[in-house]
Amino acid sequence: MQTPEQALASYLAARNLKMTPQRRLILREFLQSGSHVSCEDLWARVKAVDGSIGQATVYRTLKLLADSGLANPVDFADGVTRYEPHYGQEHHDHLICEQCRTSIEIVDPVIERRQEALAKRHGFVLSHHRMSLYGLCAACRAKASGS
């Protein structure tokens, strides 16, 4: 089993791209920063370690990670692209509280299977999908009814 850094290295090598200290650092911080990091967030983390790193490099590297399959873009419908690590992880979808913005990762094998079936029926071959369920979590509902 290879580490994420090795995975990135071989992805880069395979297309004549280079492993740099910046990419190594951004990858490391990305993996440690939990789910749903925006480029801005990650840039802040990365700058704390190496203040000389430019924002454009973070954008470029995150896109690279997404292409290589190590990161997945996540859409929270708020105009900011967020990414989550995708390495040796199962795919999952999101359950998002519209009040407190908490998000829970969910998977449902039945849904996944139906999605494939649906696509097939229309002649599609799926590469990926996004499913986000929006609503109110128990805590926020309690607060709302209490007030």
Partner DNA sequence: TTAAGTGCAAATAGTTTGCAGGGAC
Partner DNA sequence: GTCCCTGCAAACTATTTGCACTTAA
Residue numbers 41-60 binding DNA by CB under 7 A: 50, 52-57, 59-60
| Residues 108 to 137 in contact with a copy of itself, rule: CB under 8 A | 108, 110-111, 114-115, 118-119, 122-137
Q: Least distance (Å) from DNA to the CB of residue 28?
A: 13
Chain position carrying tokens 């490391």: 28
Report the half-sphere exposure of 6 (CA within 13 A, side-chain side): 3
Question: Could you say whether residue 145 binds a copy of itself (CB under 8 A)?
Answer: no
What residues does 84 pair with on adjacent strands?
A: 72
Place of tokens 């990762």: 105
Q: 1, 77, 79, 121: which one contacts DNA (CB under 7 A)? A: 79
36 contributes a contact to DNA by CB under 7 A: no
Instruction: For residue 104, give the 3-state DSSP assignment.
Output: strand
Closest distance of CB 78 from DNA, Å: 8
Joined tokens for residue 47: 């700058």
